[in-house]
Structure 1
Amino acid sequence: MTSVTSTSLQELIDRADTRSLAAAGLACLDRCLPLLAPDRAEVLRPVWAAVARGDGGAWAEAVGKARVELDGAGDGDVDAGGVVTMVRVMLDGVPAEWAEGPLREWAGRCSSIALTLHRLYDATEAGPLHAGELRRQSAVLEAAAHGPTGLRRARELSIEGGRVLRAVVSRRARTA
């Protein structure tokens, strides 16, 4: 199996279409959202549905509703390492406009933030959590390139990655 690098991931982002960019950014946010709002795992489901439809109006509406539902999430939490702030940047940066330029910029920023967050929870600089996130991001982009049918796989990868991150965070909290 070929290893995924940050460079090859960036190449995938550079070549992605609008729907794939939306899925890539959303998947990163979805995996990291429990760090901001652990009790609101399903709030992004309507946004995923809008991506599947490729409908700019549905996207804008679903993004707006998710922002309202997550308003104030993480406020008052101890923000060790800036984790809550980083996830908030991903959420606040979701473009309401269904357009390639803003979605490409957002997907790239989400990719970088998600990789940084995973590295923070790794035991070593080039640890398995970070490497797994690189592979997951690449797989999401490749799945999303197959259109609406690939989005189910992209969402599955996102859910799996969220579980992994939650387990690591939980384990770290227990041993702290």
Structure 2
Amino acid sequence: MTLVELLAEADERSLAASGLACLDRCLPLLVDETDVLRPLWAGIAEGEEGWAERLAEARAALDAAPDPGGTAAPVRKMIGAAPSEWAAGPLAEWAAACSSLALELHQELDPAGGTQGPLGGGEQRRQIQILKLLARTPDGAGLRRALDVSKAGQRVLRAALSRRARAGG
């Protein structure tokens, strides 16, 4: 299945987790502390009851993070756009936007460029893997595995940013 098809078939929990995972993988552009979204992952586990409150906490934490170079603006914008309502329609729109943002950012940073480079292609594979994991495992274990995949993606992006900085741009 394609990424678009997987997003179209996802339930609220999977949509929220997919969108959050995309932003989570982009965090190295924003903050050194990459566990800032961890409470929101807990909000997904709680479902509708925990989502809005945890979302407000995550927004406040990201708003407080410094952004001297302005590189974090797209990530902040996407967390700001996250719907407080736990409903398939708004969550699907947000998850699709987060997916596009993550793919775009990874492609821009990819030395080979495009979706077939190591960063762009890897990001697309991680998005598909997370959606499939969540569809197969509708319990907390699926969320935990999705978080693990996302953290691995963070490490890849952090390494790419480090290489880029050493190379001078």
User: Would you say same fold, with TM above 0.5?
Assistant: yes
For the 8 Å contact 1:74–1:84, the answer to whether it is kept is no
Note if 1:30 corresponds to 2:24.
yes
TM-score normalized by the length of structure 1: 0.88
Note if 1:115 corresponds to 2:103.
yes
**Structure 1 unaligned runs (5+)?**
none
Note if 1:144 corresponds to 2:134.
yes
Counterpart of 1:159 in structure 2: which amino acid?
Answer: K
1:47 match: 40
SS at the partner of 1:13?
Answer: helix
Alignment equivalent of 1:61, drawn from 30, 41, 53:
53
Q: Distance in 2 between matches of 1:151 and 1:74?
A: 29
2:3 match: 9
For the 8 Å contact 1:17–1:100, the answer to whether it is kept is yes
Q: CA deviation at 1:125?
A: 2.5
User: What is the 5 A alignment of 1:124-139?
Assistant: 124-126=112-114, 127-139=117-129
For the 8 Å contact 2:62–2:76, the answer to whether it is kept is no
Structure 1 segments, 4+ long, off by >4 Å, are none
Count of residue pairs the alignment pairs up: 164
Comparing both chains, which one has the higher relative contact order based on Cα–Cα distances under 8 Å and sequence gaps of 6 or more? 1
2:162 match: 170
Counterpart of 1:131 in structure 2: which amino acid?
Answer: G
Q: Distance in 1 between matches of 2:129 and 2:118?
A: 16
Q: CA deviation at 1:74?
A: 4.0
TM-score normalized by the length of structure 2: 0.91
